[in-house]
Amino acid sequence: MVMDRKGILFVLSGPSGAGKGTVLKEVLQRVNGLAVSVSVTTRSPRPGEIDGVHYHFRTKDEFKQMVKNNEFLEHVSKFQNYYGTPKAHVEKLLNDGMDVILEIETKGAAKVRRANPDAVYIFITPSNYEELTRRLSCRGTESPEVCELRLKIAKTEYKSIKYYDYIAINDNLEECVNTVLSIIHAERNKRMRNQKLAENLIQLK
Ligand code: 5GP
């Protein structure tokens, strides 16, 4: 579905354990015209992660070269690894009228916000911190130290919530997916994003 407008950039953030990945997967299956940006990372793939699908897995040297070449819309260092959003791909999709969603952490989102005030910022979180703690300790893919670190970082990420347009509560997957889908539909139907149609209608004699 290619529209006669530029695509909308959606930015999805939230602490580790908020369920961003699962929500995003469901959302992508249920809406047309929305592409996800695959980030570049220097961290190792987790079991089941595929290069080019979940991330573009690169070495630190390769990543640094991409930074030098100005290939990122934003990039950050986190958990002793680098993460970045490839710029050219996202811009091409947006120019083709495709909506794009980035699943990135809050510092990267802040960088995107400075350059893209028209983007839509959505923060995903369980409704309380206890639930987040429970989910993180259940995850089992990381050491207790990494879990502790993620909880500490979660608290810092919550400080950025004030910069987001929407909060999508994820206590129940289905409800959260519906919240995000509603946001996408509402944003697509904003009058200011459908200016050509509005002007044509205004000019009717
Ligand atoms: P994970 O290693 O668990 O896949 O991701 C760790 C964190 O990095 C998550 O909060 C995720 O949203 C964030 N992240 C993934 N890709 C990017 C990216 O390209 N840029 C930024 N700023 N954060 C990212």
DSSP symbols for 86-118: EHHHHHHHHHTT-EEEEE--HHHHHHHHHH-TT
Q: 138 pLDDT exceeds 60?
A: no
The first and second tokens of residue 69, run together, are 């070449």
Q: 82 pLDDT exceeds 80?
A: yes
Q: What is the pLDDT of residue 136?
A: 83
Counting Cα atoms < 13 Å in the Cβ hemisphere of 142 gives 19
Rounded to two decimals, the pTM is 0.93
**Contacts of 91 by beta carbon, 8 Å cutoff, 6+ apart:** 73
The first and second tokens of residue 19, run together, are 């369920």
Which of 104, 132, 156 to mutate to test ligand 1, by most ligand atoms within 8 A of the CB atom? 104
3 state DSSP class of 41: strand
Distance 201 CA to ligand 1 centre (A): 43
Q: Are 7 and 100 in contact (CB under 8 A)?
A: yes
- In this structure, which residue's CA is closest to atom 2 in ligand 1? 43
pLDDT tens digit sequence for 26-78: 999 999 999 999 999 999 999 999 999 999 999 999 999 999 999 999 999 98
Q: Which residue ranges have their beta carbon within 6 Å of ligand 1?
A: 16, 39, 43, 74, 76, 78, 83-85, 103-105, 108
Q: What is the pLDDT of residue 147?
A: 81
